[in-house]
């Protein structure tokens, strides 16, 4: 019509004029919520999608269904260019899912997705205040609730090494399904409940952190020998609080600024984990600091710029200790809220004092060898029986052996898993293993670590294994003839080798 009525030079102006005229007389106004806002993912788009998926299934006649890899939840969504109505506080609104093909692909890296997706919200002009002030906040809260209720928490990794995906996100995610909880964690109950209480206080502490002027974050350093449950503790923390986990692979981070960018893209209510902090990256100026003796001198000599949040002059492409400290502690660490930092290490003595100084990591948690109270939890987990049920004599023998043996919960779990169908055999073998280990510890005479270094422990372990292999199969074991014969053959071979 425009083409017929107006000459070409007036077409654009007339279109603009008609548009304005139409808007003046229209009862409605429209808001676009696009999936990608400039270069960043639009959180509101994700929230609206989740919010609509909670009730769209009941009213929609044509829906899109999605399920993420490894996920157990199906998500309903509006099909392309479909509409749905909603009512908030007596006010009617309409949502439309608008999908269009991206026309001109301007150069950008990583390339933008082919489709441009967004939601269009249509409301009456007179309802603007109530919708913009309350409805959108309500949607954000509701989406967070749905996420928590679905228990579809995510485990993020930066294993792509700094490159972004098509949605401009540096983190990759999978549903987090680790079943470890504080109930299943073998640890002294008193220490465990202290940690639980600390976490509970943290999660409910918004007003406290606000009042005291502290950033709403907390740091935990988990240290102890391998197999004592550091990773299991992180999973238990995430399950307890219902937080996502960001597993930061430091070896994939190339500079301090990349580290900051990663931090900026983490969400609230999350646990940011760096495992094996002592060996995951060669923190370039740590050596200088240790050499200098005093922890503070590192700031003077090592990386003056980096300490203020910049890059080390000589090491533009490396991540420095100060970069890491800024990451956990500096201004950038509070670019979100309600976040927990967890570092783990097997060798706390190798860590730079700057990382350990008070206030840096709020709680240092030693994950120790398996004590008797922890052993009781493992017996309950794997055999389904309380230690007291095993009889007083067996219980006290176990207690004594466990205290002397200094075995990790991982080692003990192995013995229990192997014999989980036969409680007596499990307890019998466990006692045997614990005693052998206690005996070995005695031989090493408190120099266990030196013995381990010199291979003495390895030799002893081999001897123990051979001894056990020679004794098996035991009476009443459920191996068939063929497998028994195989074990005998193996034994013979081992004997020969010996
Ligand atoms: N305290 C514990 N409670 C329950 N299970 C445990 C505990 N410690 C270890 N385990 C068991 O041993 C296995 C290894 O534990 P985990 O990975 O948590 O140890 P880790 O301390 O993180 O070891 P590493 O230092 O090598 O990373 C787990 O599968 C878990 O089942
Ligand atoms: Mg671990």
In this predicted model, what pLDDT tens digit does every residue of 3-16 receive, in sequence order? Answer: 788 787 787 888 88
- The whole-angstrom distance between residue 16's C-alpha and the CA centroid of its chain comes to 51
- Distance of CA 275 from the midpoint of ligand 2 (Å): 7
Q: Are residues 113 and 236 in the same domain?
A: no
Q: Are residues 135 and 68 in the same domain?
A: yes
Which ligand places an atom closest to the C-alpha of 188? 1
pLDDT reported for residue 296: 31
CA dist 290 and 456 (Å) reads 31
Q: Determine what percent of the chain is predicted with pLDDT higher than 70.
A: 74
Q: 52: burial class by Cβ within 10 Å (0-12, 13-18, 19+)?
A: buried
Q: Are residues 132 and 43 in the same domain?
A: yes
CA dist 18 and 35 (Å) reads 29
Q: Are residues 313 and 217 in the same domain?
A: yes
- Which has the minimum average pLDDT: 86-100, 257-271, 318-332? 318-332
- Distance of CA 185 from the midpoint of ligand 2 (Å): 14
pLDDT reported for residue 15: 81
CA-based nearest residue to 201, from 435, 388, 362: 362
- Which has the minimum average pLDDT: 263-277, 450-464, 476-490? 476-490
Q: Would you place residue 311 in the very low, low, confident or very high pLDDT band (cuts 50, 70, 90)?
A: very low
pLDDT beyond 70 at 473: no
- What pLDDT, in 10s, does the model give residues 200-229? 999 999 899 889 988 889 999 999 999 999
Q: Are residues 243 and 351 in the same domain?
A: yes
Whether the ω angle into residue 202 lies within 30 degrees of 0, i.e. cis, is no
pLDDT reported for residue 287: 43
Establish if 146 belongs to a structural domain.
Answer: yes
Q: Are residues 82 and 108 in the same domain?
A: yes
Domain count, the chain: 3
Q: Are residues 197 and 221 in the same domain?
A: yes
Establish if 56 belongs to a structural domain.
Answer: yes
Establish if 15 belongs to a structural domain.
Answer: no
Q: Determine what percent of the chain is predicted with pLDDT higher than 90.
A: 24
- Distance of CA 367 from the midpoint of ligand 1 (Å): 10
Q: Are residues 143 and 164 in the same domain?
A: no
If phi over 0 gives left and psi between -120 and 50 gives alpha, with beta otherwise, what is residue 151?
left
pLDDT reported for residue 379: 92
Establish if 130 belongs to a structural domain.
Answer: yes
Which ligand places an atom closest to the C-alpha of 222? 1
pLDDT reported for residue 330: 73
pTM: 0.69
Q: Are residues 353 and 393 in the same domain?
A: no
- Distance of CA 345 from the midpoint of ligand 2 (Å): 8
* Closest atom of ligand 1 to CA, residue 370: 1
Q: What pairing do the DSSP bridges indicate for beta strands 36-37 and 91-101?
A: unpaired
Residue 102 tokens read as 């991206």
Q: What angle do CA 306, 307, 309 make, to 5 degrees?
A: 60
Q: Are residues 144 and 169 in the same domain?
A: no
Last residue of a domain, one of 150, 183, 205: 150
**What is the average pLDDT score of the chain?**
78
Q: What is the mean pLDDT of residues 121-140?
A: 87
pLDDT reported for residue 226: 93
pLDDT reported for residue 113: 66
CATH of the domain at 310: 3.40.50.300
- Distance of CA 366 from the midpoint of ligand 2 (Å): 13
Establish if 347 belongs to a structural domain.
Answer: yes
Provide residues with CB under 6 Å of ligand 1: 184-187, 226-232, 346, 367, 409-410, 413
Establish if 105 belongs to a structural domain.
Answer: yes
Establish if 9 belongs to a structural domain.
Answer: no
If one residue of 233, 367, 383, 409 were mutated to test the ligand 1 pocket, choosing by the most ligand atoms within 8 A of its CB, it would be 409
CA dist 288 and 449 (Å) reads 28
Q: Are residues 108 and 63 in the same domain?
A: yes
Last residue of a domain, one of 366, 399, 416: 366
pLDDT beyond 60 at 329: yes
Q: State the ipTM, two decimals.
A: 0.98
How many C-beta atoms lie closer than 10 Å to residue 62's C-beta?
8
Establish if 374 belongs to a structural domain.
Answer: no
Contact predicate 205/340, CB 8 Å: no
- Distance of CA 231 from the midpoint of ligand 2 (Å): 4
Last residue of a domain, one of 331, 366, 401: 366
Nearest CA to ligand 1 atom 8: 229
* Closest atom of ligand 1 to CA, residue 185: 3
- Host domain of residue 406: 386-497
Nearest CA to ligand 1 atom 12: 410
Q: Are residues 133 and 271 in the same domain?
A: no
CA dist 318 and 311 (Å) reads 9
Q: Which helix (H) or strand (E) holds 307?
A: helix 304-307
Contact predicate 163/35, CB 8 Å: no
């Amino acid at each position: 019509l425009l083409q017929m009525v107006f000459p070409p030079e007036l077409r654009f102006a007339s279109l603009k004029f008609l548009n304005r005229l139409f808007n003046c007389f229209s009862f409605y106004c429209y808001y676009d919520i696009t999936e990608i806002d400039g270069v960043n993912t639009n959180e509101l788009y994700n929230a609206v999608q989740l919010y609509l998926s909670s009730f769209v299934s009941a009213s929609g006649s044509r829906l899109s269904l999605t399920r993420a890899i490894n996920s157990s939840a199906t998500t309903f969504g509006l099909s392309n260019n479909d509409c749905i109505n909603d009512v908030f506080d007596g006010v009617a609104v309409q949502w439309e899912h608008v999908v269009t093909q991206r026309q001109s692909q301007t150069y950008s890296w990583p390339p933008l997705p082919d489709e441009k997706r967004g939601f269009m919200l249509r409301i009456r002009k007179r309802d603007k205040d109530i919708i913009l002030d309350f409805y959108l906040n309500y949607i954000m809260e509701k989406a967070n609730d749905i996420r928590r209720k679905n228990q579809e928490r995510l485990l993020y990794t930066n294993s792509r090494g700094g490159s972004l995906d098509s949605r401009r996100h540096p983190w990759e995610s999978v549903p987090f399904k680790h079943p470890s909880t504080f109930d299943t964690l073998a640890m002294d109950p008193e220490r465990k409940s202290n940690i639980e209480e600390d976490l509970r206080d943290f999660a409910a502490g918004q007003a406290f952190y606000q009042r005291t002027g502290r950033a709403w974050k907390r740091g935990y350093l988990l240290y102890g020998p391998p197999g004592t449950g550091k990773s299991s503790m992180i999973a238990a923390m995430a399950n307890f609080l219902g937080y996502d986990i960001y597993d930061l692979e430091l070896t994939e981070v190339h500079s301090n600024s990349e580290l900051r960018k990663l931090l900026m893209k983490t969400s609230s209510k999350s646990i940011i984990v760096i495992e094996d902090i002592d060996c995951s990256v060669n923190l370039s100026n740590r050596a200088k600091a240790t050499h200098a003796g005093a922890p503070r001198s590192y700031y003077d000599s090592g990386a003056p710029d980096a300490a203020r949040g910049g890059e080390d002059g000589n090491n533009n492409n490396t991540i420095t200790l100060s970069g890491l400290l800024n990451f956990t502690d500096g201004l950038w660490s509070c670019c979100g809220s309600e976040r927990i930092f967890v570092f783990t290490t097997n060798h706390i003595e190798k860590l730079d004092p700057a990382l350990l100084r008070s206030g840096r990591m709020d709680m240092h948690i030693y994950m120790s060898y398996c004590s008797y109270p922890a052993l009781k939890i493992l017996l309950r987990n794997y055999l389904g029986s309380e230690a007291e049920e095993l009889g007083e004599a067996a219980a006290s023998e176990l207690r004594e052996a466990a205290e002397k043996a200094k075995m990790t919960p991982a080692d003990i779990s192995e013995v229990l898993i192997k014999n989980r169908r036969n409680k007596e055999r499990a307890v019998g073998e466990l006692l045997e293993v614990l005693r052998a280990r206690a005996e070995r510890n005695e031989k090493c005479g408190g120099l266990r670590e030196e013995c381990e270094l010199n291979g003495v422990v390895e030799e002893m372990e081999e001897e123990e294994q051979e001894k056990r292999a020679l004794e098996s199969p035991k009476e009443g074991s459920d191996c068939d003839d063929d497998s028994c014969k195989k074990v005998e053959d193996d034994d013979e071979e081992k004997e020969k080798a010996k």
